[in-house]
């Protein structure tokens, strides 16, 4: 039986519903040598056209080929994660201790040690699985979009919906979504390092090649995962998903980095150092107890092992994992998608934000406000990309028809030298496909009753020179009877000298400056008639058409975000391609500075590195910036010791995004090249989202710092109780088995709540932390030491007082156990606000996770105290109401004493005080 597919006859492997990936991989689309076919042959082979497929055809082919995505990598099984959790020096010590306990006849001790190991490992497996799910959801949020021709119209679709035969439109900065056969190319350069490893760009064309042409030389094919670095291209999709070259070699271009940041490495190093010191202390304690106090070796061995287990905060890695995973998820919920997890940590240290103006500080919805021709000036009203609005003479007394021909010529040129498209949706809105600046030009033409689609049909495009920052303009050539009409659109300073005589240049520069001072972005247009199409644009002879001034309204929330960042000691620098007068006007509107300190790209180029470093720290805006300017600015700021966040959306921003400590790409308007170079993507292109991400980064760091300050004294106090008992020759207030119980239950309860701390509003009222600052300051270490000693002494006092009151050793130990745990619970409240007192409602009730952990811990402690099985296993006894009163009194004394210590150490614990606006420098 045969089946018709794409206009060809081929053996049917099954219905579309039953085709497997293996069967689809063997399809003609996957195996055809597309580079050897002419565009006409490709079109016939794919049964498509230059206008693309219909929606019905695309859906049918999607049933056959499946989604355009690579098979995801296999996830680690739970037992693989479990084994990785056991690969730890502390775990090895515990397992050895369990074996030795079993050999020496302490079966119960061995069982409890193994329980500690298993519970910690299972908990780590659970949290690692949640972290992997969080990262997988983030990968799904980084969806690649593609401009496709469907039903004769351009649409922007999820790249996963592409099928062979679709027509894709690409331009500088885009990422190729599938393997394409090019049938139209203009100045096309592609970076294929995703496949070849070579960083240099290669040229592409649309002509057929020899069948034996190797892959690296197939210049008429674009491969999935590569980047367009220059020019434009249109091509047919020929291979999708695993059939692409990228899929064939099994490479996934986009990975989220593993959870290993400088902070976690710092914590790992701290843990290893603590482990070495504590193991040494355990050995010394064992030797002293044996040689000096002549204690039994089997009990002394278990005491030494328990001392090591008690002192090392083995719950810390799990807390770090949870805190980072929670931070990533919450950032994603706030439209900040983390691509590189070190960004979560580094965000808290950002001291300078270099931000693009368009789309980040403004709405990225351009609207034309002024038109200036050689004969007249016009003002334009209305919002959005629709035709609503009017074009009226600036001089109300002038006749409306005066200068109309010149106005029509200016707007027709703006329509033709333009790549954007507008669509009127069924909901009555206007959808823009293309650059907002060019969309605004089409909207202005509609307000002048110009049918831009008809104008383009009447004057078809013959050639196109895309806009590149290096040349500062875009040019197109159009067929006009037996002549060629060249149109050029770009920055006025690039066109004035090309088009105007010297005596007229000053006038138009003044006109440009006047528009820029109104906060308008200014474009100039000109035309030139030629006899034949030429690849070289003439330097003279152009006819000046006029200026167009447009505005991108500032975001309402941008001014608030800027003010809060400045209050947080973060210096903001606005970077834009606009004229410097335009940039200053917008900077003032946003509250960046009343009198902004500004540089142009040319002025920056004239500075040497030392001078630039001096200017960079006081700079408010950089106008007419080139990619090289942005890169030098970031390097200068970093040389001055700043941690720099850099936003960008274009392929030209990629070098600066890579150089910055935090590269931030735009999710809506950003190119795929920018997203690939960035550490973080703003899904809503909003500076307020970046502000929120910085706040979240500071909060994560603060939570991890408080967690460490909580864990070290509580674990240290447990170890000190054992150490002092051995050195003083006392009976053990808490047995090694009981220490293991406390360590186990507190690790799975009290170690977690600080990772769920809500955002602290005061975090954005302080200066950024220095990136090289140690995790714990001197004041923190003093607090840790005093807290550990205090909890230890209170626990020993509770035990010995109980003995003085004729309590049994088991009853006294039960009191000591409960008192130690209650002190840890109160100390958790102390740690919620290290820099402030906690004698307030928010400190006690502001984190519901704290009370859930208290409830779980209280239940476990009650079971230890009253459940007969646990009483027998851990040698505990039931407590009376009086005993519980003493326990809670011990906890309250601990809480008040540590609050007093915090008050005495206030200057050492308090972060830098409130900062003033950076303009008071």
Is 773 a member of any domain? yes
Please report the pLDDT score of residue 878 as a whole number.
92
**The pLDDT of residue 546:** 94
Average pLDDT of 217-221? 86
pLDDT score at 873: 83
489 is a domain residue: yes
Known active-site residue 356 = yes
What's the domain count of the chain?
4
Domain boundary among 666, 685, 704: 685
305-324 residue pLDDT tens: 777 767 767 666 666 767 77
| Contact assessment for residue 364 and residue 685, using Cβ atoms and an 8 Å cutoff | yes
pLDDT over 90, % of the chain: 25
pLDDT in tens, 380-417: 988 888 888 898 888 766 665 668 889 999 999 999 99
pLDDT (average), residues 90-112: 69
Residues 511 and 562 in one domain: no
**At 915, is the pLDDT very low, low, confident or very high (cuts 50, 70, 90)?**
very low
Are the C-beta atoms of 162 and 177 separated by less than 8 Å? Answer: yes
| Neighbouring residues of 60: CB distance < 8 A, sequence distance ≥ 6 | 16
Tokens 């401009």 -> residue: 147
741 Rama class: left (phi>0) / alpha (psi -120 to 50) / beta: alpha
Q: How many CB atoms lie within 10 A of CB 258?
A: 8
pTM attached to this predicted model: 0.66
**For the chain, percent of residues with pLDDT exceeding 70:** 79
Give pLDDT, residue 132: 57
Q: Is residue 375 in some structural domain?
A: yes
Residue 787 has pLDDT above 70, yes or no: yes
Q: Please state, in angstroms and rounded to a whole number, the distance separating the CA atoms of residues 179 and 235.
A: 9
Residue 225 · residue 194 · CB < 8 Å: yes
Helix ranges (DSSP H) in 660-772: 672-677, 687-728, 736-747
| pLDDT (mean) for 332-360 | 79
Question: What is the secondary structure of 442-506 as a DSSP string?
Answer: HHHHHHTT--HHHHHHHS-EEEEE---TTT-EEEEEEEETTEEEEEEEE-HHHHHHHHS-HHHHH
Burial of 56 (0-12, 13-18, 19+ CB in 10 A): exposed
Per-residue three-class SS string for 643-659:
CEEEEECCHHHHHHHHH
Rounded to whole angstroms, how far apart are CA atoms 493 and 515?
A: 14
Q: How far apart are CA 474 and CA 478, in angstroms?
A: 14
C-alpha 761/C-alpha 256 separation (Å) is: 30
678 pLDDT more than 50: yes
The answer on pLDDT for 206 being more than 50 is yes
Q: Is 204 domain-assigned?
A: yes
Domain boundary, last residue among 219, 248, 277: 248
Average pLDDT over residues 570-578: 88
**H or E, element range at 356:** strand 352-356
Confidence (pLDDT) at 652? 64
pLDDT for 144: 79
Q: What is the mean pLDDT of residues 798-818?
A: 91
**In terms of pLDDT, which residue wins out, 328 or 470?**
328
Give residue 558's pLDDT band: very low, low, confident or very high (50, 70, 90). confident
Structure confidence by residue, pLDDT tens digits, 507-518: 999 999 888 888
Between 577 and 78, the more confident residue is 577
CATH number at residue 153: 2.70.150.10
Catalytic residue (choose from 109, 179, 243, 356): 356
What residues are paired with 377 via a beta bridge? 372
CATH of the domain at 527: 3.40.1110.10
Encoding tokens for residue 610? 């030392």
pLDDT category of residue 725 using cuts at 50, 70 and 90: confident
The Cα 160–Cα 157 span in angstroms is 8
Q: Are residues 655 and 627 in the same domain?
A: yes
Burial of 437 (0-12, 13-18, 19+ CB in 10 A): buried
Instruction: Provide the pLDDT confidence category of residue 6 given band limits of 50, 70 and 90.
Output: very low
Inside any domain, residue 475: yes
pLDDT band at 252 (very low <50, low <70, confident <90, very high): very low
78 within some domain: no
Are 769 and 881 part of one and the same domain?
yes
Same domain, yes or no: 782 and 702: yes
**pLDDT for the residue 918:** 41
Q: Does 268 reside within a domain?
A: no
Same-domain check for residues 609 and 490: no
List of residues 6+ apart from 675 with CB closer than 8 A: 142, 175, 339, 665, 667, 681
Asked if pLDDT for residue 16 goes beyond 50, the answer is no
Q: How confident is the model at residue 18 (pLDDT cuts 50, 70, 90)?
A: very low
**814-849 in b/e burial notation, b at 16+ Cβ within 10 A?**
bbbbbbbbbbbbbbbbbbbbbebebeeeebeeebee
Output the pLDDT for position 892.
95
Let me know whether 660 and 743 are in one domain. Answer: no
CATH number, domain of 814, equals 1.20.1110.10
Task: Please report which confidence band the pLDDT of residue 620 belongs to, taking 50, 70 and 90 as the band edges.
Answer: very high
The residue among 347 and 407 whose pLDDT is bigger is: 407
Which of 630, 657, 685 corresponds to the end of one domain? 685
Same domain, yes or no: 722 and 708: yes
Same domain assignment for residues 589 and 724: no
| Range of lowest pLDDT (261-270, 275-284, 678-687) | 261-270
> Is the same domain home to 472 and 589?
no
Residue 584: what pLDDT?
86
Instruction: Please check the confidence at residue 442 and state whether its pLDDT lies above 80.
Output: yes
- Within a domain: residue 802? yes
What CATH number should be reported for the domain holding residue 601? Answer: 3.40.50.1000
Q: If you average pLDDT over residues 467-487, what whole number do you get? A: 82
pLDDT attached to residue 671:
62
| Same domain, residue pair 430 and 563 | no
- Are 514 and 403 in the same domain? yes
565 and 523 part of one domain: no
Q: Residue holding tokens 């355990």? A: 282
Looking at per-residue confidence, does 312 or 33 come out higher? 33
pLDDT of residue 87: 63
pLDDT of residue 8: 33
Phi-psi region of 392 (alpha: psi -120 to 50; beta: other; left: phi over 0): beta
pLDDT digits (tens, 9 = 90+) for 730-764: 888 888 778 878 877 886 688 788 878 888 777 88
- The residue range of the domain holding 820 is 694-909
Sign (positive or negative) of CA dihedral 90, 96, 102, 105: negative
Q: Count the residues in the chain.
A: 921
Which of 120-124, 598-602, 852-856 has the lowest average pLDDT? 120-124
Residue 425 reports pLDDT greater than 80: no
| Whether residue 233 has pLDDT greater than 80 | yes
Angle at which helix 89-103 crosses helix 107-141, to 10 degrees, equals 160
Q: How far apart are CA 353 and CA 662, in angstroms?
A: 9
Mean pLDDT of the chain: 80
């Amino acid at each position: 039986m045969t089946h018709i597919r794409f206009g060809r006859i081929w053996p049917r492997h099954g219905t579309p519903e039953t085709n497997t990936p293996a069967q689809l991989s063997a399809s003609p689309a996957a195996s055809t040598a597309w580079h050897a076919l002419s565009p006409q042959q490709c079109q016939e082979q794919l049964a498509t056209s230059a206008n693309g497929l219909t929606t019905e055809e695309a859906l049918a082919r999607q049933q056959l080929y499946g989604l355009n995505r690579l098979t995801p990598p296999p996830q680690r099984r739970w037992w693989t994660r479990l084994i990785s959790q056991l690969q730890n020096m502390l775990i090895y010590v515990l397992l050895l201790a369990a074996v030795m306990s079993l050999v020496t006849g302490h079966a119960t001790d061995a069982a409890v040690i193994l329980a500690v190991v298993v519970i910690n490992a299972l908990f780590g497996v659970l949290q690692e699985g949640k972290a992997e799910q969080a990262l997988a959801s983030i990968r799904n949020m980084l969806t690649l979009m593609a401009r496709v021709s469907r039903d004769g119209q351009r649409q922007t679709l999820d790249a996963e919906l592409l099928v062979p035969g679709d027509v894709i439109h690409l331009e500088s900065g885009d990422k190729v979504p599938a393997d394409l056969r090019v049938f139209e190319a203009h100045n096309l350069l592609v970076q294929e390092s995703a496949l070849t490893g070579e960083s240099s760009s290669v040229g592409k064309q649309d002509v057929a090649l020899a069948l034996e042409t190797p892959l690296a030389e197939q210049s008429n094919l674009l491969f999935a995962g590569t980047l367009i670095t220059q020019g434009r291209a249109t091509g047919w999709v020929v291979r999708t998903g695993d059939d692409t070259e990228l899929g064939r070699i099994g490479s996934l271009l986009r990975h989220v980095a593993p959870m290993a940041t400088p902070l976690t490495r710092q914590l790992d190093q701290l843990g290893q150092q603590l482990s070495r010191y504590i193991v040494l202390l355990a050995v010394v304690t064992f030797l002293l107890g044996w040689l000096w106090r002549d204690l039994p070796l089997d009990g002394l061995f278990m005491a030494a092992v328990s001392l090591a287990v008690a002192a090392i905060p083995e719950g810390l890695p799990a807390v770090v994992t949870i805190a980072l995973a929670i931070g990533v998820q919450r950032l994603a919920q706030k439209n900040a998608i983390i691509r590189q997890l070190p960004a979560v940590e580094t965000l808290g240290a950002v001291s300078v934000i270099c931000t693009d103006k368009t789309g980040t500080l403004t709405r990225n919805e351009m609207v034309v406000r002024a038109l200036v021709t050689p004969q007249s000036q016009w003002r334009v009203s209305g919002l959005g990309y629709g035709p609503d609005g009017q074009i009226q003479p600036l001089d109300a007394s002038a006749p409306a028809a005066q200068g109309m021909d010149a106005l029509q010529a200016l707007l027709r040129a703006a329509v033709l030298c333009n790549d954007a498209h507008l669509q009127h949706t069924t909901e009555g809105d206007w959808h823009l496909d293309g650059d907002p600046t060019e969309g605004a030009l089409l909207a202005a033409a509609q307000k002048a009753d110009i049918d831009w689609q008809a104008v383009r049909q009447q004057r078809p495009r013959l050639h196109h020179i895309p806009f590149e920052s290096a040349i500062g303009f875009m040019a197109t050539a159009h067929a006009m009877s037996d002549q060629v009409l060249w149109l050029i659109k770009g920055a006025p300073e690039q066109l004035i000298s090309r088009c105007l005589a010297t005596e007229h240049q000053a006038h138009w520069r003044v006109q440009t400056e006047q528009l820029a001072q109104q906060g308008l972005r200014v474009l100039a247009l000109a035309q030139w008639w030629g006899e034949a199409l030429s690849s070289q644009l003439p330097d003279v002879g152009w006819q000046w058409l006029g200026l167009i001034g447009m505005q991108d309204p500032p975001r309402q929330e941008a001014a608030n975000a800027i003010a809060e960042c400045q209050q947080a000691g973060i210096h903001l620098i606005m970077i834009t391609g606009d004229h410097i007068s335009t940039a200053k006007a917008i900077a003032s509107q946003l509250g960046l500075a009343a009198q902004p300190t500004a540089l142009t790209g040319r002025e920056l180029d004239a500075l040497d590195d030392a001078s630039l470093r001096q200017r960079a720290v006081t700079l408010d805006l950089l106008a007419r910036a080139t990619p090289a300017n942005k890169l030098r600015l970031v390097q200068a700021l970093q040389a001055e010791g700043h941690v720099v966040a850099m936003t960008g959306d274009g392929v030209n921003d990629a070098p600066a995004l890579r150089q910055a400590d935090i590269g931030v790409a735009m999710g809506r308007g950003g190119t795929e090249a920018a997203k690939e170079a960035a550490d973080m993507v703003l899904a809503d292109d909003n500076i307020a989202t970046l502000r929120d991400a910085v706040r979240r980064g500071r909060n994560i760091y603060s939570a991890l710092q408080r967690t460490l300050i909580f864990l070290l004294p509580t674990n240290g106090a447990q170890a000190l109780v054992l150490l002092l008992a051995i050195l003083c020759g006392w009976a053990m207030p808490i047995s090694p088995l009981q220490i293991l119980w406390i360590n186990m239950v507190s690790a799975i309860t009290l170690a977690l709540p600080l990772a769920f701390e809500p955002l602290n509003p005061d975090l954005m009222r302080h200066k950024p932390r220095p990136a090289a600052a140690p995790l714990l300051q001197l004041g923190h270490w003093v607090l840790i030491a005093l807290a550990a000693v205090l909890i230890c002494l209170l626990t020993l006092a509770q035990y010995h007082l109980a003995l003085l009151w004729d309590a049994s050793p088991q009853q006294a130990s039960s009191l000591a156990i409960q008192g130690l745990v209650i002190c840890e619970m109160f100390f958790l409240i102390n740690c919620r606000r290290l820099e402030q007192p906690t004698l307030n409602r928010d400190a006690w009730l502001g984190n519901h996770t704290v009370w859930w952990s208290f409830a779980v811990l209280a239940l476990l402690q009650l079971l230890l105290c009253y459940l007969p099985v646990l009483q027998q296993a851990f040698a505990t006894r039931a407590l009376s109401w009086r005993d519980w009163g003493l326990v809670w009194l011990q906890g309250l004394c601990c809480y008040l004493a540590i609050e007093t210590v915090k008050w005495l150490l206030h200057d050492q614990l308090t972060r830098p005080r409130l900062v003033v606006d950076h303009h008071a420098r």
